[in-house]
Amino acid sequence: MENFQENPILAPILQEVEHIIGKDAYELWFKTAQLSYEQPFLTITIPNAVWGKTIQERYQSVIKDTFLKHTGTEIQIIYQIIQTENPVVMDARQVVPSVAAPTVTVNPFAARLNSEYTFENFIESPSNRFAYKSAQTVAQKLGVKGYNPLVIYSAPGLGKTHLLHAIGNQVLKENPSAKVLYMTGEEFVSDYIESLQTKSTNIFRQKYYSLDYLLVDDIQFVVGKSASEQEFFYIFNKLFGNQKQIVLSSDRTPQQLEIDERLSSRLLSGVPVEIKRPNLETRIAILRQKRDLMNFTIGDDVLVFIAEGIQSSVRELEGSLNQIRAYCKTNNVVPTIPIAKELLADRLVNEEDIIINVNNIKKIVGKHFAVKMEDFNSKKKNQSIAWPRQIAMFLTTEMTDLSLPEIGREFNRDHSTVVHARDLVRDKINTDPFFAAEINRMILDIKAVDK
């Protein structure tokens, strides 16, 4: 495979492929192959179909990812069988049935998926369970009624992209020939503009019309670009009419997207699901999973410290753990809480900088106990309302600088009622560890809202 002089771009790419898959595997499967590259096609000429099938199943994604890294270009791979009258057997491993085999076909859409994002390694929790189950549902059946389109929305870094890739990976695992395309909203706009510039809109449309699954991340980037938005509507309608599956992610609800009324109506006809910020237990579970994947020795005490201090997103949690791992590996030290505190100083929640909003305390407590906001200030005294109101008063005394009379006014009560509520809840916390844990979860949720 020494054709580097003809195309020197292959040298660094193949060297990295060898580094990734190992020298033994590289020499076994690639030494007798010939490569030629003419953008965007990489032709691999191999002795027989078994050779091509092995490379395709085991190493094709590595080759494509390495090309993308070095050239910024997504390639399509063509496998070509060597046509010889008397093939020379160099090794017993090359002995295969003498059957004329066709060129191995390649699914041109699979390479856009990140194989590391699967349902198996997604941490399911109350904050994302509906989104997780909905994603599994659409991956199991094409265009399942009631789930088309599926719109997953959340703040950045909470797992939307992971679920989109997981859907695609699961579909291709069950049906390798399925036409699945993952892309971002920005890439869709860029793809459409390029088709206009090259006068190839028909090819552009046919590519999308032929899909079984269209997975578009950050659809909000298509919004406001009228021509692209209109084109997306046409593609949406075509796929929807053919009972193909459409999955979109967004940083806001479908109602909040300022899009064409026709498209908005389409989005609302499916299932919009929200991923919320993960609670403390989920954040710890995410860090533990990441630690195990890294084979990184770090104590649970440090993980809990990170989880308590990083509340904004899963992405930031993983980034924080990567930062600590890199530091400890470079300096050959064991990760500790003081090290984590120093390294993550600019990321950790600063308790002094959080100004707690009383309405948010009511909101979190009300959500926890299914109590309406107006009930906190009402005259109702039934236990199902009075107890959550007392908890909200206690949390306000603990988490704000308001005086007792000021807190009383916030709840339409006098200060003596606030004192009674504070002491009552505090006594239960001191005697009931399960209730204390429940209060701690509410405190974390309140801080996450006010951060």
> Can you name the CATH fold of 280-349?
Helicase, Ruva Protein; domain 3 (1.10.8)
Cβ pair 32, 46 in contact under 8 A:
yes
pLDDT of 281: 82
Question: What's the confidence (pLDDT) of residue 407?
Answer: 92
Q: Provide the 10 A C-beta neighbour count for residue 296.
A: 15
47 against 309, higher pLDDT: 309
CATH 1.10.8.60 residue spans of the chain: 280-349
Of 311, 430, 439, 308, the residue nearest 368 (C-alpha): 439
For domain 129-274, give the CATH superfamily.
P-loop containing nucleotide triphosphate hydrolases (3.40.50.300)
Residues with Cβ < 8 Å from 443, sequence gap 6 or more? 395, 398, 399
> In the chain, where does the domain assigned CATH 3.30.300.180 lie?
10-106
Q: What is the pLDDT of residue 103?
A: 46
Segments of the chain assigned to CATH 3.40.50.300: 129-274
Domain 10-106 CATH (choose: 3.30.70.260, 3.30.300.180, 3.40.50.720, 3.40.1110.10): 3.30.300.180
User: What percent of the chain is predicted at pLDDT more than 70?
Assistant: 89
Q: What is the pLDDT of residues 135-178, one digit of tens each?
A: 999 999 887 778 889 999 988 888 999 999 999 999 999 988 89
**How do residues 106-115 score in pLDDT, each as one tens digit?**
555 555 788 8
Query: Which of 14-23, 334-343, 344-353 shows the highest mean pLDDT?
Result: 334-343
pLDDT at 115: 87
Which of 8 and 121 is assigned the larger pLDDT?
A: 121
More confidently predicted of 240 and 349: 240
Mean pLDDT is lowest, of 32-41, 327-336, 385-394, for 32-41
How far the first Cα of the chain sits from its last, in Å, is: 57
* pLDDT digit string, tens, across residues 6-26: 567 788 888 888 887 777 678
Residue 1 has pLDDT above 80, yes or no: no
Per the CB < 8 A criterion, the answer to whether 125 and 278 are in contact is: yes
Say how far apart CA 159 and CA 170 lie, in whole Å: 16
Distance CA 355, CA 259 (A): 35
CATH class of this structure's domain 353-450: mainly alpha
Question: Would you list the DSSP string of 290-312?
Answer: HHHHHT----HHHHHHHHHH--S
